[in-house]
A and B are shown apart, each in its own frame.
Chain A
Amino acid sequence: MSKLKRISALVMALTLVLCVGYFSVMSPTSAWFYDSGVIDSGNSFVFGDVSVNTDYSLKETINFDATTKLDDPDEILFDEVINVDEVSVTNSGTVPARVYANVENKSASKGLRWFYFTDDMLLESGVKKTIEAVLPNLTDKALDEYNVGADGNSGHYILLQPGETTQVKLAMWIDYDDVASSINAGQTLDYDVEITLIASQNVDAAIER
């Protein structure tokens, strides 16, 4: 091969690498996802590439030992009386994904509150201190905005990289102001709840809960 040809081959190879570079830095485009399929397999939720939202759903009845109140500064037993549900979530796909949560109270009784978190958010001093650190104030409105967003269709999410598994946690408790009269009437603190985790692509969009 002549020297000119060798140089041309080198220049062409480099040009080709630049062209491949051009194609490799193209922005990804995806879509909004809201059509739900349900995966319910005990306490683990595994999803792949989410071309549509993938939901995990868990129905259970929780018996709370006692009531409490988040914004009561004198309440020191908050962490003792909350119920914490834990679900192992795995992103087995090849793109990062968000996992949103929702807890629905299926009982007639009022007063259920909840908070969505992972251990890496948890302060050593406990769940209540973690909530205080995350929320701007300890009102129901601030808690709702954190959990499901102001529009009810966004809110806190856990970002999972491809192949990553994490334990997501849902702390639930009963606000004593809401149930004082029913407890006085002898009612127990049994609540039917439905926990939903929604895997969605890592783009901002409204999601159907």
Chain B
Amino acid sequence: MTKIRLRNVLFNILAIITVIAVAFVLFNVFSGAKGYAVTSGSMAGTLNRGDVVFSRKADFDDIRPGDVVTFRSADSTGYFTHRVVSIDAQEKKITTKGDANPTEDPLPSDADQVVGKMWYSVPLLGYISILVAGMTATKALIIFASAAVVLIAVNLVIDRVKKKTDKSRGDSNE
């Protein structure tokens, strides 16, 4: 009885987590938000390492000083997210600064480097991406294999306990 209850509880927990995760993913997909894992501390206080910043596409005219904006690097190999300090509307250049940095960034960004304006952020979620990115294929394989072995072992133990319980129940019934 207790075992069945435990399984039901686990099933319900799995169901709740799955529903929340799916709803969260769908919410971002349909609202056009794109997530970026924060890997550095230059925006500490607003965005910490390990946070995920969700940015939504924004036109140059929608950007105001004080907005936190995600930019594509000049060679399109990466992204950075900083706060807008000033905007040169004529030259279409945006000057930015990290909240934790003492001075403004050395070069302004072009308007076409803007990929989105920060909508909201979620703490710690970015560690999934950071951990996976820092993993070698071998390390990832070992972790997945270890997790599989642990799950199989847990399943075996549960089955053995179940068989033992059933057997002792049968013996007592006889």
Q: Which residues of A contact B (CB under 8 A)?
A: 1, 5, 8-9, 12-13, 15-16, 19-20, 22-35, 49-52, 94-95, 153, 162, 201-208
Contact = CB atoms under 8 A, between A and B. Distances in A.
B94 interface: no
B15 to A, nearest CB: 6
A208 B103 CA distance: 12
A207 B74 CA distance: 14
Interface stretch (B39-47, B85-93, B163-171): B39-47
B22 A9 contact: no
A31 B48 CA distance: 12
A29 B79 contact: yes
Interface string B1-24: 000100100010011011001101
A206 B106 contact: yes
Contacts of A15: 18, 21-22
The winner among B35, B70, B125 for most chain A CB atoms within 10 A is B35
A35 B44 CA distance: 15
B43 A31 contact: yes
Nearest to B54: A26
Nearest to B126: A26
Contacts of A24: 128-129, 131-132
Interface of B is mostly: mixed
18 contacts: A8-B11, A13-B14, A15-B18, A16-B21, A24-B132, A27-B37, A27-B78, A30-B80, A31-B82, A31-B105, A34-B101, A51-B41, A51-B44, A51-B49, A162-B134, A201-B39, A202-B78, A204-B77
A189 to B, nearest CB: 36
B40 A26 contact: no
A31 B97 CA distance: 9
Given A28-B36, A28-B39, A203 B78 contact: yes
Contacts of B106: 32, 34, 153, 205-208
A35 B102 contact: yes
Contacts of A5: 11
A165 B14 CA distance: 44
A88 B68 CA distance: 38
A70 to B, nearest CB: 29
A52 B43 CA distance: 11
